[in-house]
Amino acid sequence: MAKVKIEDFAKDLELDILYDGESKVIDIVSSSVNRPGLQLAGFFDYFAAERLQVLGKVEFTYLAQALDEAQRKSALERLMSEEIPAIIISRSQDSLKDLIIEVASKYKRPVFISKLVTTKLIHKCVMYADRVLAPSITRHGVFMDVYGVGILLVGESGIGKSETALELIKRGHRLVADDAVEIERTSDEQLVGKAPLSVRHFMEIRGVGIIDVRQMYGVGSVLNEKTLHMQIEMEAWDPVKVYDRLGISEELGTILGVKIPRLTIPVRPGRNLAIIIEVAARNYRLKKMGYNAALTLTEQLIKNEEDVV
């Protein structure tokens, strides 16, 4: 369940508030939406009261034309006596606005109105509810958009994540989050990362302090959110450890149950990490297009050996 402020709900879905319900919050427990046509007709078996209730043109026409004033009020009272989270009216239909507000105020049910047609409004509500109900986690790291690839840089504190990100920003790439990255699973195969609102667009650079990337480098240097495509772990160079030099096999990491490619980049003086990360992003895109340089080279070497034999 997600608790959403009335004002935020209305702003995010571009709704006008007819009645705020006095509780100031909406409890969203389902991403599904219900059109209560049958309920207005008196059938409440299997009624999904926990869903957002949308009054479309059909429901409004039924109330206005098929029922007299007493029946209309009775039908609305029966509906709003259920523990529904909110009612949303589509198509700016306001002919029954006063009656709906009167009944809603009796049962303290929030009521909103939208300019959208019913199907578009329902789609928008479902997408919004999916988002607020999505599983989420906060990870320490830096999240960048590099050539359209969402890359999460992780590693021990002081390894150089923010400095590398700053170099990438100077090279024209975009910052999504520094230090704290909020990651949401928006579908079974997709993760979206963003920064907490209070620290969005800010970076900490040791020895300098806090900088505002958007003010310093322009609005084109930042993004509010981005799909997470791969994770790069930065670690101090270990001369004993054997690092992958071919990249034939792909290592996968798991975040919120979603598997994403994971690379380990050793850090030592003299390595230009920004360029390496750019190459990793370009290579990721090539692999998505079906080209794998390591496999191509291996096939060529095998073919050459066969030709010699």
Beta strands in 84-189 (DSSP E): 87-89, 111-113, 136-146, 149-155, 174-187
Q: Does residue 243 surpass a pLDDT of 60?
A: yes
Chain centroid to CA 161: 23
Q: Does residue 309 surpass a pLDDT of 70?
A: no
Beta strands in 52-200 (DSSP E): 52-55, 87-89, 111-113, 136-146, 149-155, 174-187, 190-194
H or E, element range at 11: helix 6-12
pLDDT computed for residue 248 by the predictor:
73
pLDDT computed for residue 242 by the predictor:
77
- pLDDT tens-digit map of 273-307: 999 999 999 999 999 999 888 888 888 888 887 66
Structure tokens at 279: 């190459």
pLDDT computed for residue 167 by the predictor:
94
Sketch out the chain's domains with CATH numbers. Answer: 2-132 (3.40.1390.20), 136-296 (3.40.50.300)
Pairing relationship of beta strands 87-89 and 52-55 according to DSSP bridges: parallel
Q: Pick from 58, 46, 62, 52: which is nearest to 21 by CA?
A: 52
Instruction: Please compute the mean of the pLDDT values over residues 47-53 and round it to a whole number.
Output: 95
- Eight-state DSSP code of residue 140: E
Percentage of the chain lying above the pLDDT 70 cut: 99
pLDDT band at 131, cuts 50/70/90?
confident
Instruction: Please compute the mean of the pLDDT values over residues 241-260 and round it to a whole number.
Output: 83
pLDDT computed for residue 33 by the predictor:
95
Instruction: Please compute the mean of the pLDDT values over residues 168-178 and round it to a whole number.
Output: 95
pLDDT band at 308, cuts 50/70/90?
low
Q: Pick from 129, 151, 278: which is nearest to 227 by CA?
A: 151
Question: What are the b/e assignments for 172-204, b being 16+ CB within 10 Å?
Answer: ebbbbbbbebbbbbbeeeebbbbbeeeebbbbe
Q: Does residue 61 surpass a pLDDT of 60?
A: yes
pLDDT computed for residue 173 by the predictor:
97
Q: Pick from 32, 196, 150, 19: which is nearest to 94 by CA?
A: 19
- pLDDT tens-digit map of 73-118: 999 999 999 999 999 999 999 889 999 999 999 999 999 999 999 9
Q: Does residue 245 surpass a pLDDT of 90?
A: no
Structure tokens at 163: 């400095």
- pLDDT tens-digit map of 213-236: 999 999 999 999 999 999 999 998
Q: Which residues are catalytic?
A: 140, 161, 179, 245
Distances (CA, A) of 166 to 85, 175, 196, 230: 44, 8, 19, 19
Percentage of the chain lying above the pLDDT 90 cut: 72
Q: Does residue 168 surpass a pLDDT of 90?
A: yes
